[in-house]
Chain A
Amino acid sequence: MLNMTDIMETITMIQEEHLDIRTITMGISLLDCADTDIDKSCEKIYNKIYAKTKNLVAVGESIAKKYGIPIVNKRISVTPISMLVGISGGDPVKYAQVLDKVAKEVGVNFIGGFSALVQKGFAAGDRELIEAIPRALATTDFVCSSVNVGSTRAGINMDAVKLMGEKVRETAELTADNKCIGAAKLVVFCNAVEDNPFMAGAFHGVGEADCVLNIGVSGPGVVRSVLAKMDDKATMDEIAEAIKKTAFKITRMGQLVGAEAAEMLGVPFGIIDLSLAPTPAVGDSVAHILEEIGLEQCGAHGTTAALAMLNDAVKKGGVMASSAVGGLSGAFIPVTEDAGMIAAARSGALIIEKLEAMTAVCSVGLDMIVVPGDTTAETISAIIADEAAIGMVNSKTTAVRLIPAIGLPEDGELNFGGLLGSGPIMKLNPYSPSKMIKRGGRIPAPLQSLKN
């Protein structure tokens, strides 16, 4: 039987605490679209994506209205395009443009999969795709790109790390007149997951079914509000319990929406990504949860411990609520997308070295960080290498999404607006890693890879 307290709790979560379904992402395999003629390949891609996703936005909106819960984003992820480039040859930017076109026509707000997986080396198409990333992101609006440069099994491809440092910088340069936005759509991964519904890193792995629907839920505001109501004397394990219960409720809602959307669209339900994904809106911040636990400001000593507990409790609560959990699943810490992180970065409480430590215990990595416009490609590569090493050794996903603020003064801020938010420039270590980055080669896989 429904009771008044439960009903009011759900409504308060949605209305006051920004509970929402962050994204429904349809993953589509493009392997059957490959053709030795790039134009034919593009045509097949357009037809397949259009046929599969033409109802995605309408279905999302009708479910949102039925349950009164916002579904913020509808998105598409596709097979890493480097595989198609390997077969067709030609200019990979053509693929980016066809993806952008179909995304606009079906009304989704991002399409991910302009990607290459090069953790162990470059295959046909990989280098061509990576070289084309800056132009692809500068000439499209909705295409997102990701490159996997390392994994626990394979080690780190340092040639790819070097190359990606250059590409991140070039991408920012090519979009310098538009707030360097290109770099915000480019992620460099270690241990990338094949069923991630969140952008900019979503792509549809080759081990996946032809077409699936993945869901990303979100509710940092709900968690913060639950903690705010707790006694100041509550112990850390009591707080972890409260977070688990909240995560359970949030995830159950995601499961309901996901199962129903998949049924309406006639595709299998893939996974729920149990993530706390912040937005710049007031009250929707992961940093504020950490502050509610008892830190004066995010970035203070103790932040890593609080985040580790939060990340673990979210997973424990969510796992039982869903029939299939996957994706990145954990707390996100994208600096420009989180009001509390932005404030902490401005005040100097949060520095990049602390963020790096935090990435060892949460779901992804150095995400949406604005760095000085004169940062060299080698320094960006070195940041990527550090982050990839954390991911490789800890058998977890890590990622780097840096935005070099080309042409901005040192005390400047980049303001993207919308979900991407805004952020001040973060200071980096001024000493050069150039000699190491130029060595290239591979960092061999660690002992952790030998599990068999």
Chain B
Amino acid sequence: MFYLNEIKRAFLTSLWFVFLTFPIVVIKVDPIERIVRWRWENSLYMAGGIFVVYLLVKFFIHRKSQAVEPEVDRDNEVKGSFIHRILANPKQRNVLIVVLLFAALAFPQFSSSYQTNVMSTALMYVVLGLGLNIVVGMAGLLDLGYVAFYAVGAYSYALLNHHFDLGFWAVLPIGGGLAALFGILLGFPVLRLRGDYLAIVTLGFGEIIRLILENWSEFSKGPSGISNIPRPGLFGIELSLKGEIIYLYYLMILFVIVTIFIVNRLQDSRLGRAWIALREDEIACQAMGIDKRKTKLVAFALGAFWAGIIGVVFAAKTTFINPASFTFLESAIILAIVVLGGMGSIVGVILGALILILLPEYLRALSEYRMLAFGAILVAMMVFRPQGLISNIRRTYHSDKKFHPPTQQ
């Protein structure tokens, strides 16, 4: 019965799609010959394609719903996923980390400058994703204006270098610090806001920063941007262009490792627990003695700090910045990295960043369909794995003491 019904529905759906797409796929106006071409065969392809896709989707959903049946096993299933199993085992985990590290270190030797450059960009987004993960994934504060802090970092390097001739390494902490300061500035007015309201205000904040940079020409040189920003120095050694790219790549590897280390420690600390509690229930969180204001501001500041750091790196990498690099789309991509990777999960965010940044690059083979394929993959991901690629697992703690056995229920 199920099949017959579904086939009927698939048929109706494909008819509906044929109707909807009729003007685009069937009618073609030829302005030279001044005739209309009716490409009826296209509607057949459309009908067939939709029919098959519909049945496939239904089939997967059906299979998924059957697999989930034992309710209790659901969590265990997630826990038992391949990557979680490896991460849970310290020996396997260390092997994996060493292998990945070697692969990462050897990468530039085996690939072109272009590939290395793309990989550096992806690594930048890994750090950005991990930074935003503090705000969105852990503390649960939906921030749509994250790119503003990225811009603050980039412009602090560009301007401090332009006016005061400060070098990359000197500006790196300043850029991070300034971004953190802006994080606190944004944090104050939005302390009371949650969810959608917070998202709107942060979105506005991101746009304000961009518009200021675009219009305050005396300060930021407006839309024409700032050029000739020096690349990061290496003890004053002159590097070739290829050398610069490889140097930046290794620098990014270092940044990523430091970020993972710090974010991981933050997550497993008293502060990290407070963030997650804040995400779960703000009122209960306060009633348990957590200072909401302080905890939120620290989340904003620490999240913004990483964006500032990467902003400085970005300015140094591209040697030219203008406000067009800091549009809402950037914020959206970074947010997509966090959501797609799995909110609050460090491994998930890393994977999410690599996929979201590398995929469009390697999909170039599909030429004009590249962004279409990218969108389709995103949609498919969210349909089949709404919790993200890798869901977060909570750390477990153990005590050495013996406890009373559970009472008989």
Q: Do A and B come from one complex?
A: no
User: Which B residues fall within an 8 A CB radius of A?
Assistant: none
By a beta-carbon cutoff of 8 Å, the part of chain A in contact with chain B is: none
